Structure 1
Amino acid sequence: MLTVADIMTKSVYSLRETDTLLSARALMKLQRIRHIPIVTKDTMFIGLLTHRDLLSATVSQLAEVDPETQDEIDAGIPIKEIMRTDLKTVEPGATVRSAAEILLNHKYGCLPVVDKGRLVGILTEADFLKLTISLMEALEEKSQG
């Protein structure tokens, strides 16, 4: 049976609650990610910041705020002001099916993977797409063989 540890992303970009929205925005853009787990200095998971959270904290473009001013605003807002703390996590030994059901039922884009409170990975929709592709390839090979 497949476990979360089998398909999760192990190298995770994370930030601390004292980092700013500016650093979160820069990290998301640079690494092309949409979810940033927030951890303490000893990697204890304490929250999550999503691209959607960043968008909702951004001054509307209708307000005609130039990018430099937006950066100044973002540099003064710590992540702890907008990060989510009321979300589910999953353990590395959980089944892929149970994790998929949590993602689907709660309409999450990711699940932080924690072991004894420490962040050890992240499970995203992309991880499930990779799994789907490999399963489809296996089925194609089986039907051709």
Structure 2
Amino acid sequence: MKPKKNRTVEDYMSTAVITLKEGDTISAANLEMKLAEIRHIPVVDAKGHVVGIVSDRDVLRHASSLNGKPIPIESIMTRRVRTVRSTTPAADAAQMLLDHKIGCLPVVGDEGQLVGIITETDFLSIAQQALRGIDVTHGAEDR
């Protein structure tokens, strides 16, 4: 096991990530978020590269403009997505969330393909368990 100060994103990230394609609709994003009880969904291209991200706030902000029409997610997604690698120190990833006031970081591989995600909820869980004195390393397993 790695010493606590050397732990990386890989130790805490989720690898079973729900994704969307640019042509998917806002309604589809809303449904996925509700079913999976999540707040962020990466948008990927055909090769699995991250091309955007959509949050529950993005969906809520545009829900009133739907009027029964399917609107593609690409029209509301954030295109400049901050990402990390699995080897990024976990403390650095947490600092990125704080510095940029964002709720998650998609984790990408060497070719830019999505391999996982780490969220502010993951870090809150880490903090809560650390306060209780519990070792919280997951070894990249899904929770």
**TM-score, normalised relative to structure 1:** 0.82
Specify the alignment match of 1:137 in structure 2. Answer: 132
Tell me, yes or no, if the aligned pair for 2:107 and 2:116 is still in contact at 8 Å: yes
Give the drift of 1:134.
Answer: 2.8
Specify the alignment match of 1:32 in structure 2. Answer: 37
Distance across 1 between alignment mates of 2:64 and 2:19? 24
Give the drift of 1:42.
Answer: 2.3
Distance across 2 between alignment mates of 1:56 and 1:19? 17
Please state whether the residue corresponding to 1:112 is helix, strand or coil. Answer: strand
- Matching residue's letter, 2:113: R
- Output the aligned Cα RMSD: 1.5
Q: How does 1:63-82 map to 2 (within 5 A)?
A: 70=67, 72-73=68-69, 76-82=70-76
Pair member with larger Rg = 1
Give the drift of 1:86.
Answer: 1.4
Specify the alignment match of 1:97 in structure 2. Answer: 91
Whether 1:111 aligns to 2:105 is: yes
Percent identity (aligned): 41
4+ residue stretches of structure 1 with deviation over 2 A? 136-139
Note the residue ranges of structure 2 that are not aligned, 5 or more in a row.
1-5, 135-143
Tell me, yes or no, if the aligned pair for 2:51 and 2:81 is still in contact at 8 Å: no
* Residue 127 of structure 1, aligned match among 105, 119, 122: 122
Count of aligned pairs between the two proteins: 128
Please state whether the residue corresponding to 1:17 is helix, strand or coil. Answer: coil
> Which piece of structure 1 moves more, 18-27 or 124-133?
124-133
Note the residue ranges of structure 1 that are not aligned, 5 or more in a row.
61-68, 140-145
**TM-score, normalised relative to structure 2:** 0.83
Specify the alignment match of 2:53 in structure 1. Answer: 48
Give the drift of 1:87.
Answer: 2.5
Q: Which has the higher helix share?
A: 1
| CA shift digits 1:59-80 (9 cap, x unpaired) | 17xxxxxxxx74x22xx21111
